[in-house]
Chains A and B, each alone.
Chain A
Amino acid sequence: MIPIEYFLALSAILFSLGAYGALTRRNTIVVLMSIEIMLNAANINFVAFSSFFNDVRGQVFALFSIAIAAAEVAVGLAILLNLLKTRETIDLEDIHILRW
């Protein structure tokens, strides 16, 4: 039986990597992928605690989370596609109209 701390450490490392990627990369697709990594870090926690407490609800949540991540990627990619069409770039440095 692998102790739960290992899972939590893995999850924390994955989350931090994802967060680093999401904050620093300029390519929007990479940012999207980093966000997926962060989501999966959370999923690992769900599954680990589910096994730790012997409670199946954690796994159910993990499945939910995966389904939502899929939907999110679909929407996110669609937005990116439109962005590419209208502004001909997906570089986050160039997309800064979200201000007054």
Chain B
Amino acid sequence: MQSVDLAWLIPVLPLVAAVVIGLLGKKMKQGGGYIAIGASAVSFVLSLLIVVSVLDGSFDAADGIVDGVYEQSGTWISLTSTYKFEIGIYIDQLTALMLMVVSIVSTLVIIYSIAYMGDEGGRKRRYYTEISLFVGVMLGLVLANNYLEMFIFWELVGLCSYLLIGFWHHKPSAASAAKKAFIVTRVGDIMFMIGIIILFTTFKTLNFRDLFSMEVSGSDLGLLTLATFFIFGGAIGKSAQFPLHDWLPDAMEGPTTVSALIHAATMVKAGVYLVARSFPLFVQTPETLMVVAIIGGVTAFMAATMALNSPNIKRVLAYSTISQLGYMMLALGAGGYLFFSAMGSEGYTSSMFHLMNHAFFKALLFLCAGSVIHAVGTEDMRLMGGLGKTMKLTSFTMLIGALSISGIPPFSGFWSKDEVLAVVWNAGSLSWVFVLLYVLGIATAFMTAFYMFRLWFMTFKGEPGEASQHAHESPKIMTVPLVILSVFAAASFLVLFVGDGFGGTVFFEESHALQAGEMLMETFTDPLTYVSIIVAVSGLGLAYLVYYKKRISSDVFVSTQATRSLYSLLIKRYGFTAGYDAFAEKIVYGFSLIIDWIDQKVIDGIVNGISFVLATAGDYVRRIQTGHVQSYATFIIAGIAVILVLLYLLGGFR
């Protein structure tokens, strides 16, 4: 029995758990939470087996592997012999990586939930049902072997996100945030669907293997560009990229565990995963790759600026998530552009590396924030402070997460962020756009270090705020996942030095296998590395001076008219929220009114007119029908007589 043969069980187990908890959870301990943990833990073990087989090389030698891909599929709908839809699983190194990341983070988050959601009473059953459903469909999304199947799971994770953001639906803000997340991502989903339809009508298949091995040329290439563009539109929505980023900060209305799992570590990665999965298509369309890179870079920068002054601990993390996702998109765009110009495919590897590291440190940061919120009962950082004394473990693990995301060596975030920036810099030799994006990336790195340490100092250092008076360390069941995740957040870079390194395992077309020594040499002889270290350290230093030493008063940011208006612009999220509301109120509502008028007057008018004519005609015609059998018989006989006469006259009897 090979480990990959059991892969289909990975999404099925959490789905079964969701059904079981949904039906029987009321009678179970913790609303079925232990079943949810069990199912995702078994999925984790199965994913781990696949990852181990990838690492020890037995995956490449296993039965059923063709071109490094394991695929099992069955026909779902057969339209004709050429048009058919499949359901199946598709495993390569990228899938293995995602399976691993998703299942480990979900398991830890659900364990953490036992304590965090402990006071929810009867609602726990719903929570564990929805979160198990989410884990199942997310793993299904990762395993899908064609775009249609992926799209179905894509919508299902969106549904779970909606349900869980609105978990406390009695709060109006949570209910409207859930709706916002659902509707805004739907814009992207429609684009994704358009992309799928273009692919299907052009290439007659949605199977990944068939699509990726296709030689595209001529007019099909134009259609492929369009298709990749629209598919990227789906990724924009799901991964909260500019200009559809506005739902993610509001999504923080959900429980912190949900933010950690769905809106930091897994679902929002689906967009990046989609682009990475479609990479063989994207690298044929440089125009789309340019769009990917620009959107990624702009998003990274913009989201980081909004994180600078948000007073809400979770919102800062949400902006930071958007920003880091922007980095991944930037790396994919720039890396694909480099590959198109035959200059290597490191961008793909570095993006996936950043994805993995980010999943760990961002889940850690969110869970730490959850631990803090659990202790102080507020999300406003201005009311916190001095928590470092009472919550030693949380503050320490959060420090590791913050160091990692800020890119301070040797924590894992440093390695991946450095690689991402290096790829963008290399792409700079192809176009000036990438030089600009590199500058944005460096500025983002500076801001990342600043806002993360602003958050950390405001929360854990300084005078105790009014909310932190009675704070206490969280229970063990919450801190143990924090410790495990902090180990990953600090040390996941070690995969660079195991065997062929990360680049020798997760790569596109060309392996980037490097020995540990070569890797170190390459990193630390590159002047760019020192640039990123310097900006990270200076960002950290600035935060230290402002929010710890208070050498520089934070009032300096609101002292002049110009900075004050900038400050309020950032708090207003560049007006996107208001802009979307105005757009919806004026344009969408106005358009709806026009449509409503057409519906009421024109469409209904036609329908009513037809029925009026028929009813009036019926009023007259019904008088023929007297109910007297004899008059009916008269008509019948007269009719037959007429037919006979006509037949005679027309010569029908001859």
Contact = CB atoms under 8 A, between A and B. Distances in A.
Given A19-B637, A23-B637, A95 B629 contact: yes
Contacts of A100: 622, 625
Interface string A80-100: 000000000000110111111
B278 to A, nearest CB: 63
A37 interface: no
A92 B631 CA distance: 11
A92 B627 contact: no
A24 interface: yes
A24 B637 contact: no
A95 to B, nearest CB: 7
Contacts of B628: 92-93, 96
Nearest to A24: B630
B616 interface: no
A99 B637 contact: no
- Most chain B Cβ neighbours within 10 Å, of A22, A92, A99: A99
B630 A98 contact: no
B634 interface: yes
Interface residues of B, number: 11
B613 interface: no
B617 interface: no
B637 to A, nearest CB: 6
A23 B634 CA distance: 6
Contact of A99 (B627, B630, B633, B634): B627
Query: Secondary structure at chain A's binding surface: helix, strand, loop or mixed?
Result: loop
Contact of B633 (A22, A93, A95, A96): A22
Interface in A13-46: 19, 22-24, 31
Interface in B582-636: 622, 625-630, 632-634
A20 B81 CA distance: 65
A93 B627 CA distance: 9
Contacts of B633: 22-23
A23 B630 CA distance: 5
Contacts of A22: 630, 633
B629 A99 contact: no
Contacts of B630: 22-24, 31, 92
A98 B629 CA distance: 8
Interface residues of A, number: 13
A42 to B, nearest CB: 14
Nearest to A93: B628
Nearest to A28: B629
B605 to A, nearest CB: 28
B226 to A, nearest CB: 58
B626 A96 contact: yes
Contacts of B627: 96-99
Nearest to B641: A19
Nearest to A99: B627
Contacts of A95: 629
A31 B627 CA distance: 16
Contacts of B629: 92, 95, 98
Contacts of B637: 19, 23
Contacts of B626: 96, 99
Nearest to A35: B633
Contacts of A19: 637
Contacts of A93: 628
Nearest to A25: B630
A11 B102 CA distance: 93
A95 B625 CA distance: 13
Contacts of B632: 98
Contacts of B622: 99-100
Contacts of A23: 630, 633-634, 637
A24 B627 CA distance: 15
Nearest to A20: B637
A71 B281 CA distance: 80
Nearest to A97: B627
Nearest to B628: A96
A93 to B, nearest CB: 7
A97 B625 CA distance: 11
Nearest to B625: A99
A84 B329 CA distance: 89
A22 B629 CA distance: 10
A22 B633 CA distance: 9
A76 B50 CA distance: 83
A98 B626 CA distance: 8
A95 B626 CA distance: 10
B44 to A, nearest CB: 70
A23 B636 CA distance: 11
A22 B630 CA distance: 7
A61 B98 CA distance: 84
A83 to B, nearest CB: 12
Nearest to A26: B630
- Most chain A Cβ neighbours within 10 Å, of B630, B632, B637: B630
Contacts of A96: 626-628
- Most chain A Cβ neighbours within 10 Å, of B625, B626, B628, B634: B628
27 contacts: A19-B637, A22-B630, A22-B633, A23-B630, A23-B633, A23-B634, A23-B637, A24-B630, A31-B630, A92-B628, A92-B629, A92-B630, A93-B628, A95-B629, A96-B626, A96-B627, A96-B628, A97-B627, A98-B627, A98-B629, A98-B632, A99-B622, A99-B625, A99-B626, A99-B627, A100-B622, A100-B625
Interface of B: 622, 625-630, 632-634, 637
Given A92-B629, A92-B630, A100-B625, 4 more contacts: A22-B630, A23-B637, A31-B630, A93-B628
Nearest first, the 7 A-B pairs at minimum CB distance are A96-B627, A99-B627, A98-B627, A99-B625, A96-B628, A23-B634, A23-B630
